[in-house]
Amino acid sequence: MEAFCVISVGELVDKLAVLAVKLKNIDDDEKKKAITKEYYALQKTLSKMNILNYEKYLQNLIIVNEIIWNAVNKAWEKEKKNEIDLEFAKITREILIENDNRFKIKEKINLYYSSDIQEIKSY
């Protein structure tokens, strides 16, 4: 079963970036197979939309999502050891900052491509 829904162009490009990071960092073959299937399905959707020149945005989102991936892994390691200390706070702050950078990139994408759907933050 598949679900189809309306999302912003920025969210679609970001999802491709997240999947690219997962493909790079996950070793399990079955998981990679599922991730690859989703990646190509979403890439096909993007190509049908005739969205051109999105690669620079995709690369920027891959970089930011990789930073978030690594920081989240560090935070989980500290959490497992119950090390909720200053370093943990710095790591979680990094996640917040990079997530905000991620939002800004998606916002630029949505503006550039005149996306009908916009991501809205409360802060």
Token pair, residue 112, equals 């550039």
Distance CA 117, CA 55 (A): 20
According to the model, what pLDDT value does residue 34 have?
98
Distance CA 18, CA 14 (A): 6
Q: What is the pLDDT of residues 76-111, one digit of tens each?
A: 999 999 999 999 999 999 999 999 999 999 999 999
Mean pLDDT of the chain: 96
Q: What is the pLDDT of residues 12-25, one digit of tens each?
A: 999 999 999 999 99
Output the CA angle 47-100-74, nearest 5 degrees: 100
**Residue 32: band (very low, low, confident or very high) from pLDDT cuts 50, 70, 90:** very high
According to the model, what pLDDT value does residue 20 have?
98
